[in-house]
Homo-oligomer: A and B are copies of this chain.
Amino acid sequence: MTQPASQVSHEADPARKAGKVGNCPDPQGVLDASPGLQLDVLDKLHNQSVLTAALFDKEMMCELVKLAALMQLKRFPVGHALNDRIMAAAFFEPSTRTRLSFESAMLHLGGKTISVADAKTTGVAKGESLRDIGQMFNSYADIVAVRHTEQSAIQELCEYLRIPLINGGNGSDEHPTQALADWYALLKWRPEIAFGELDEKFRLNIGIIGTPGNMRTVKSFLMLALLFHKNINHITIFSEMADPLGDDIRELVKSSPISIDFSQNLQQSLEYLDVIYMNAIAFLGDGYRFFGDAFSLNAESKLKDDTVILHPLARGEELSVDLDETEHNLYFNQADGAVWIRQALLLAVFGRLRDLVPAEYLA
């Protein structure tokens, strides 16, 4: 049992002991790889809703990541950029992590927030229609970030909105801004993936543990991975499902130049993998008994020295904390970058970049 707080009070403050842990690549890397920001590319996001990762092309990803890096490096002040804007954070399915990340991004930019943290406190509980909810947000806010248990809800809501909507996770469909955070971490780790051309033998082998067909973070991550096919050699999807892809993206994936296969033997494949994407896995029926250990990672796992692991926390048993202190841990950096990349997205959607970014940082 932990000793009572009152007995540690005269030690040095425990909080100060904590430092950055795991793999913390320098955001400067992406700026060295591609110095000037191309605002005309980001202009395409002005006033756009973000329903799906398919909205982003490679070029747009590059500029968003560079803008996030500039803000993370505090190259220019952004604290008043959205002073007159209100975001509604409408989380009809509770999620502290994603809701607070959107709110924090908005507040860092000087914006304001109104929030629904729990559907039980809303008319939705009384059966209020998305049509009427849409009218409400049109009148109360300038943008709305939504999480909903139903896949179709955010698109239906969009049909009644005059303001942009950002999908914060819709059922088993997508979680595009999580995928932005995933790739912001990966592109800080290896800027060449987006900004260069890797020699054949260095192209990435990516392992995805999960089922794109019914796990939104996995699906959105995979969709963005396809944008970087030039520098990705192979993707293996580890799932207990017979058909992990699902209808929505099967064709998209099959038509990609990246070779993709499916496996249930994660441990035997570790020696080939450069990047491993995990997620908290909800196993069906006896799934965990059969696959739980097989799909778990810990400090004993036979990882290559330079392999990095991504996980959009909160974690379950699939990812052992004994990996936190290692260089394999890119998942804390992934969490850390989530606010910066969401700030970049908000500035682009609100079209507030032209007056904000100093000329020296423009292409």
* Stretch of A163-171, A186-194, A295-303 on the interface side: A163-171
Chain B: minimal CB distance from A219 (Å): 8
Query: Once the chains bind, are A139 and B248 in contact (CB under 8 Å)?
Result: no
Which range holds the interface residue count of chain A?
35 or more
User: Quick one: copies of this chain in the complex?
Assistant: 3
Query: Once the chains bind, are A136 and B6 in contact (CB under 8 Å)?
Result: no
Query: Once the chains bind, are B104 and A122 in contact (CB under 8 Å)?
Result: no
A156 is an interface residue with CB less than 8 A from chain B: yes
Chain B, Cβ-Cβ closest to A101: B140
Chain B: minimal CB distance from A101 (Å): 6
Query: Once the chains bind, are A54 and B248 in contact (CB under 8 Å)?
Result: no
Q: Which residues of A (290-325) have their CB < 8 Å from a CB of B?
A: 313-316, 321, 324
A204 is an interface residue with CB less than 8 A from chain B: no
Give which listed residue, B49, B138, B324, contacts A336 with CB less than 8 A.
B138
Interface centre among A116, A219, A314, A324 (most CB of B within 10 A): A314
Chain B, Cβ-Cβ closest to A122: B96
Q: How far is the CA of A315 from the CA of B129 in the complex (A)?
A: 8
Chain B: minimal CB distance from A326 (Å): 14
* Stretch of A28-36, A147-155, A234-242 on the interface side: A147-155
A47 is an interface residue with CB less than 8 A from chain B: yes
Query: Once the chains bind, are A338 and B139 in contact (CB under 8 Å)?
Result: yes
* Stretch of A17-25, A59-67, A265-273, A354-362 on the interface side: A17-25
Q: Chain B residues near A140 (CB, 8 Å)?
A: 100-101, 104, 339
Residue-wise, chain A 99-128 has the 8 Å CB interface mask toward B (1 for contact) of: 011011001100011101110111111111
A278 is an interface residue with CB less than 8 A from chain B: no
Chain B: minimal CB distance from A171 (Å): 10
Query: Once the chains bind, are B248 and A7 in contact (CB under 8 Å)?
Result: yes
Q: How far is the CA of A173 from the CA of B132 in the complex (A)?
A: 24
Query: Once the chains bind, are B335 and A139 in contact (CB under 8 Å)?
Result: yes
Query: Once the chains bind, are B103 and A135 in contact (CB under 8 Å)?
Result: no
Q: Chain B residues near A129 (CB, 8 Å)?
A: 314-315, 321
Chain B, Cβ-Cβ closest to A338: B139
Interface centre among A2, A5, A129, A248 (most CB of B within 10 A): A5
Give which listed residue, B7, B126, B156, B321, contacts A131 with CB less than 8 A.
B321
A332 is an interface residue with CB less than 8 A from chain B: yes
A8 is an interface residue with CB less than 8 A from chain B: yes
Q: Chain B residues near A274 (CB, 8 Å)?
A: none
Q: How far is the CA of A73 from the CA of B156 in the complex (A)?
A: 30
Chain B, Cβ-Cβ closest to A126: B314
Report, nearest first, the 4 A-B pairs whose CB atoms are least far apart: A128-B314, A2-B152, A9-B54, A94-B121
